[in-house]
Amino acid sequence: MRQEIARSVRAIATALLVAVAGFSGCHPAALGQGKPDLQLRAPGFPNGEIPKKFTCDGDDSSPRLEWSAPPASTQSFALTIVDHDAPVGSFVHWVLYDLPPTTRGLPEGVPNEDQLTDGSRQGENDFGKIGYGGPCPPGGSSHRYTFSLYALDAKLNLAPRATRSQVERASKGHVLAYGELVARYGH
């Protein structure tokens, strides 16, 4: 009986370590020396709540985002949106990278295309699709969605459809500044 309990405790401890290690890799500071200097805003989110139209319960279109000027040596931006409250752990809703350094925001309804007209590229979300996939938490729950913007000292030059982990690996050591916005959506 003691051996079974010890095995169970070790299995739980291992699972927790794996979960914590996976979560810690997504924090901007883990990607390099960047500072939390970017101000990221979503003007259409009243009181930090994501309106229905930006979710799977609505139009599922991406929200308008705005951000402050990055450091002068910025060569590109990368953006991710992740639900850390998902039943499966972290769930990626959007991966966007190689945004031009002069970009100061995104319009509502960015098309779900591999490459945008400005040269930005979109990765694959955890819905298995390209571009933005809005919040879609299970009924009766409310989740937090972390929008992370990175100012990078390089262009990533990854092919379209890169995953969040590929973008984060390529960004490591290149983050000059970052900003985060956390918003909620639930039924």
Return per-residue pLDDT of the chain as tens, 187 residues: 444 433 333 333 333 333 333 333 445 555 556 677 899 999 999 899 999 999 999 999 999 999 999 999 999 999 999 999 999 889 999 999 999 999 999 999 999 999 999 999 999 999 999 999 999 998 889 999 999 999 999 999 999 999 999 999 999 999 999 999 999 999 7
What is the model's pLDDT at position 140? Answer: 83
Residues contacting residue 109 through CB under 8 Å, at least 6 positions apart: 61, 62
What is the model's pLDDT at position 16? Answer: 32
What is the model's pLDDT at position 136? Answer: 93
156: Cα within 13 Å, side-chain hemisphere: 34
- The answer to whether the Cα torsion of 27, 30, 31, 33 is positive or negative is positive
Angstrom CA distances, 53 to 2, 60, 176, stand at 53, 6, 33
- The residue ranges of DSSP E strands in 141-186, in sequence order, are 142-152, 175-186
Is residue 162 within 8 A of residue 97, CB to CB? The reply is yes
How many angstroms separate the CA atoms of 114 and 172, rounded?
23
How many angstroms separate the CA atoms of 47 and 53, rounded?
16
For the chain, domains (ranges, CATH) are 2-186 (3.90.280.10)
What is the model's pLDDT at position 34? Answer: 65
